[in-house]
Amino acid sequence: MTFPSQAALADRLKHIEGSPTLALAAKAKALAKAGKPVLDFTAGEPDLPTPPSVKQAGISSIEADHTKYTPVAGIPELRSAVVAHVNQLRQTVYQPSQTIVTCGTKHALFNVFQVLCQPGDEVIVVSPYWVSFPSIVQLAGATPVIVEAREDDGFLPEGDALRERISEATKAIILNSPSNPTGAVIDAQRLTAIARLAKEYRLIVVSDEIYDQLVYPPARHVSIVQACPDLIDQTIIVGGVSKTYSMTGWRIGWAVGPQPWIDAMINVQSHSTSNPSSISQDAALAALTGDQRSVGEMRKAFQERRDRMVDGLNRLAGLRCTVPAGAFYAWCNVAALGQSAAVTAAQWLEDALVAAVPGEGFGSSEFIRFSFAASVQTIDEGLKRLSQWFSKR
């Protein structure tokens, strides 16, 4: 082998590519920086600023010299606030020891699969899936097994389809409600059916609930541990402050679940990142324990944007977009254009300077994901440019 060499990479990295959502977001930002009037619908990141009181908590944290190591699992005050938050929303009784604070929710998921999975294990991933689920599973040496959720079934996981793919090797299933990229919210009845399967086959449920606060009435968020409280010993919940409090760059997430798994995650984290940023932890504490009005305001603003975006997309010839009940993504069927989503998204970027994420990274070449966590002006202008693009086609 001559160095530097691709062949030196570990086998488990052979199928891992960088996150397409982050790559496209970076591309859109680079175009904007180069002076191009690009309209960015890529990253799932609220355009609103972090609330002022939360920013101030970060500043005060530095001024108070909270700039040293904290306990690996997070400061006790934040661990207590996380479980209080999780318990209040789900009527659970987790203890502060049953949570670990991580460097974002993605990192929480990474820790979860590092401690629960190994080569030979299979993990059921519902498609369309968030781009990083399969890679995080593979990085733990396990194999993602993809189960399709149908558009005409609201992109919801379906019991019989799941059962068909369960094997001796199945260790876990990932649920993500509301879903990135479809916005589908799993109702209590379906959760109960999934919980029954999990019980029958002794599966671990990894429930990614990062968008739990972004559910638009009349839909409401239900966690699988509410639908089936006796699944609590085989469920791990992940979440974070990124989306709810517009804190994506602060990198604070968490996992909450059975004590032995949390303890193992703390061990793993002690050998990798150590504690998440001390300053971000203070800010996250302020977010969770402070005035929650901004959360409702953001939800209301996003609901209006959702309606604008989805209505506008559905008016464009051939496009079809289900109304998402949660999160801030419009998952738009572009199959009628007769070419792959990757090709269409590249054309929209090139011809109209409209940046959205093609569905391939989420498991489908027939859809394009628009984040509507963008200003109303951006949404209106984006729809206008796409309409012009269609009229020239």
Residue ranges that bind ligand GLU, judged by CB under 6 A: 19, 21-22, 43-44, 106, 130-132, 180
Least distance in angstroms from the C-beta of 254 to ligand GLU:
16
Of 19 and 289, nearer to ligand GLU (C-beta) is 19
Least distance in angstroms from the C-beta of 373 to ligand GLU:
9
The set of residues, in sequence order, having a beta carbon less than 8 Å from that of 112 and lying 6+ positions away, is 206, 236, 238, 255, 261, 265
The set of residues, in sequence order, having a beta carbon less than 8 Å from that of 117 and lying 6+ positions away, is 123, 137, 140, 141, 142, 171, 172
Least distance in angstroms from the C-beta of 310 to ligand GLU:
18
Least distance in angstroms from the C-beta of 44 to ligand GLU:
3
What 3-state DSSP class applies to 170? strand
Report how far residue 70's alpha carbon sits from residue 172's, in angstroms, rounded to the nearest whole number. Answer: 31
Of 19 and 273, nearer to ligand GLU (C-beta) is 19
Sign of torsion over alpha carbons 144, 149, 151, 156? negative
Phi, psi (rounded to 5 degrees) for 153: -115, 25
The one-letter code for the residue type at 271 is H
Per-residue H/E/C for 71-82: CCCCCHHHHHHH
Report how far residue 244's alpha carbon sits from residue 253's, in angstroms, rounded to the nearest whole number. Answer: 11
Of 334 and 356, nearer to ligand GLU (C-beta) is 356
The overall longest dimension of the chain from CA atoms, in Å, is: 61
- Give the bridge partners for 358, in sequence order: 368
- Of 194, 248, 180, nearest to 223 by C-alpha is 194
Taking CB positions, which residue lies at the least distance from ligand GLU? 44
Least distance in angstroms from the C-beta of 265 to ligand GLU:
19
Of 98 and 358, nearer to ligand GLU (C-beta) is 358
Of 22 and 146, nearer to ligand GLU (C-beta) is 22
Least distance in angstroms from the C-beta of 234 to ligand GLU:
26
Least distance in angstroms from the C-beta of 7 to ligand GLU:
29
Of 25 and 117, nearer to ligand GLU (C-beta) is 25
What 3-state DSSP class applies to 261? helix
Of 82 and 131, nearer to ligand GLU (C-beta) is 131
Of 85 and 106, nearer to ligand GLU (C-beta) is 106
Relative to beta strand 170-176, strand 235-240 is unpaired
- Of 214, 114, 134, nearest to 174 by C-alpha is 134
CB 203 within 8 A of CB 173: yes
Least distance in angstroms from the C-beta of 104 to ligand GLU:
8
Strand stretches in the chain, DSSP E: 39-40, 99-102, 122-127, 143-148, 170-176, 204-208, 235-240, 253-256, 320-321, 329-333, 354-355, 357-358, 367-371
Least distance in angstroms from the C-beta of 358 to ligand GLU:
13
Of 277 and 371, nearer to ligand GLU (C-beta) is 371
Of 94 and 130, nearer to ligand GLU (C-beta) is 130
Report how far residue 138's alpha carbon sits from residue 168's, in angstroms, rounded to the nearest whole number. Answer: 18
Least distance in angstroms from the C-beta of 92 to ligand GLU:
25
